[in-house]
Amino acid sequence: MEQRQQRFLGLFFTEKTSLWRDVINIMDGFRQWIYIADEHTVAQVKDIFSTNHIEDQGEVLSSSDFFLREQVVRAKPVIDAIEQNVALTRHESLVIFCEMTWAVRSPSGDIYLRELHEAFQKYLASNTITIVCVYNESILLNEQLLLGLFSHSNIYTADGIKENPYFLPSEIIKKNQLKPRFNYWLSNIDSQRRDITPKPQTANNEKENYPIEKIFNSMVAQANEGRWKIRCFGELRIHRENGELIDWNTKAGATKKLKTIFAFLLIRGEKGATAEELADLLWSDSDNTEQALNRLYHAIRYLRMVLNGNGESVRDSSFIIHQSSVYYLRLPYDSWIDLPMFQELCFKGNQHINEGNLEQAKICYESAERLYSGDLFNDIPIKYIENNDNDWCWSKRFWFHEMYHKLLYSLANIYRQLGQLSQAINYCDKVLAEDPTLEAAQKEKLLALAESKRFDALHRQFKIYTESLRKFNMGYPSQEIRDLYVNISKKN
């Protein structure tokens, strides 16, 4: 492990038995180790090491000790904490294991993951320790797994350390563009291309590139501005790379209209929207088409000012472009949007439940719950989304809201199976406060009340459910839930 390229290893696993086998095998080559636990608790890891008779030559610490549980994960505090712990060990033969599931818990986790990988590589360039990043393939999102694969020049496998043919230097990963990847990989195959392979270009000189595996196929803005973080759940919010929140207020006082245009163009992606479509969306009751289009041009002007952030209206805007009578939204490269991450976390959580992996499902669902800060584009007026001719938002809002309800009663199911009944009931109550007629949530609450021996509350809950159905003219409880109620009542 003395070779520098072997001191930043990726360890990917799907089965826990192979994880601990590989971790223990790696430990054998070092005199000292630190294990940073995130997916597992510190106590769980200590018990596993004790069972496998690991000598007391290392320490198990929580990811929170390294600032990996923060809402915003910054590389510098993480590296500073690692340096402090390395100094305490006072041993050159040291390996640090880091569970990477924190990236799922953190909004914009793929962005922070990329920054931390780069910081790890810079830190290792001047230190002799080894860092092993541990990736649970069943929890981390697909793009995060790919990023992990790209970031390590060597991967630990069942056959030992293997050179990674998919490795990419940090300066190429940082830009997240396809052509530089192609150039780098091809130059590794064709030695004659190494001297002529162009270096990564600056944003002003880049051709249009598309971030990989994104739901929104928006073109990349030709601008030097760094990535945005776009929150679509709840109020529409955009944070610049430095954390600054974009201010939608202008002297025109048309904040809601500007947000509507942005949201509409975001959803439309590379299809864009004509001026007529946007004018009809915002001024559908106007009898004068020319007047509506004139208002739209002014709104577009103010939107460009808001997005540019300099108080100036730029006709040839980097973010709102007009080509062949169609408006398009362009985002800074590698911008993060909450919707795709929420969707993937929900799908992964459901898959884990079907496979009986409760802890993994809990991590995915709780991460998704933190992302859902309200209904899709909740601050956009209802008159702009209730459009019978162009359902651009309403059905999506309803669909994401249903997904949110499902993850809540799924979390109730998980906590009930784990024996944490008060948490299970709390999650049921969250759903039922919004929809008291939702049978799946009622079923989970009845089961949790029965298992907690709260039979008076059980009978009261079934009565409330029955009355809620009558109130909304939805008939009576289904035969399935009536049978369930009768069966669990007998345990009293």
Q: Where are the domains of the chain?
A: 4-167, 219-334, 337-489
Token pair belonging to 149: 């694969």
Domains 4-167 and 219-334 share a fold: no
- The whole-number pLDDT of residue 214 equals 44
219-334 CATH fold: Arc Repressor Mutant, subunit A (1.10.10)
CATH number, domain 337-489: 1.25.40.10
Token pair belonging to 66: 């390294």
Token pair belonging to 42: 């510190």
DSSP 6: G
- The whole-number pLDDT of residue 52 equals 84
Q: Which of the residues in the chain have pLDDT under 50?
A: 1-5, 200-214
Could you tell me which residues come within 8 angstroms of residue 399 by beta carbon, excluding any fewer than 6 positions away? none
- The whole-number pLDDT of residue 194 equals 59
pTM of the complete model beyond 0.85: no
- The whole-number pLDDT of residue 200 equals 47
- Helix-then-strand count for the chain, H and E: 18, 14
Please give the single-letter amino acid code of residue 287: D
Positive or negative, the CA dihedral 405, 345, 376, 293 is negative
- The whole-number pLDDT of residue 4 equals 42
Judge contact between 448 and 432, C-beta under 8 A. Answer: no
DSSP 269: G
4-167 CATH fold: Rossmann fold (3.40.50)
